[in-house]
Amino acid sequence: MPRRRRVSAALALGIATLGLADLPALAASTAADRQRIARTFTAFCDTLVPADELTPSASALRVPDTILDNIAGDALAERLLAAGCNWLDAACKGAFAAASEGARIAACEQMQALPWQSPPGRFFQLMRNTVMAEYYVQPASWHGLALTHAPQPLGFFDAVR
> CA-to-CA distance for 115 and 125, rounded, in angstroms?
10
pLDDT tens-digit series, residues 140-154: 888 777 766 666 655
Residue 37 has pLDDT above 80, yes or no: yes
- What angle (nearest 5°) sits at the alpha carbon of residue 68, between those of residues 45 and 129? 50
Helices (H), the chain: 2-16, 31-48, 63-71, 75-91, 101-113, 119-136
pTM as predicted: 0.78
Name the band, by pLDDT with cuts 50, 70 and 90, for residue 25: very low
Neighbours of 27 (CB within 10 A): 17
Least Cα distance to 19 among 82, 99, 84, 80 occurs for 80
Residue 131 has pLDDT above 50, yes or no: yes
- Residue ranges of domains in the chain: 2-16+34-141
Residue 54 has pLDDT above 70, yes or no: yes
